[in-house]
Amino acid sequence: ARRFENWETNYAGKVGLGTAVEYALSWGLDAIEARVTALAAELRSRLAAIDGVRVHDQGLRRCAIVTFSVAGVPAQEVQRHLAASGVNTSVSLVSHAQLDLAHRGLPDLVRASVHYYNTDAELDRLIAALPAPRA
């Protein structure tokens, strides 16, 4: 069957991948790691400073994924609230992270993934768009 697929390929995907690789290499992989690590650390710090917001990341070396919760507000509701303000986040479901979240007795968590093209203004927008914690 493979012989009938030789003429069909996703050229747009290949061009896009090549462009993304060139862009990343122009930054340098070490610079990208430093940038995303610093942005994520800044976001964790800002979130932890808010009463009723808790950051749940662990480990000696933390990546660009920041997981957090807002007291009394389900993660899905936080995600929808942020999306309404143009802030993209996702939800880490307990059922998809049973060896971590369930083990620690945590609920579903909001997941913010910073990237090297994110700005401090975008971090500000995420913080400003958070729903208020509930008792």
Sketch the domain layout of the chain as residue ranges: 32-129
Task: Say which CATH topology domain 32-129 has.
Answer: Aspartate Aminotransferase, domain 1 (3.90.1150)
Mean pLDDT of the residues in the chain: 92
User: Which of 64, 76, 68, 62 is CA-nearest to residue 49?
Assistant: 68
For a pLDDT cut of 90, what percent of the chain falls above it? 78
**Alpha-carbon span 67 to 86, nearest angstrom:** 18
Q: pLDDT tens digits for 57-90?
A: 998 899 999 999 999 999 999 999 999 999 999 9
Find the angle CA(50)-CA(38)-CA(105) to the nearest 5 degrees. Answer: 50
* Neighbour tally for 23: CB within 10 Å: 12
* Neighbour tally for 125: CB within 10 Å: 14
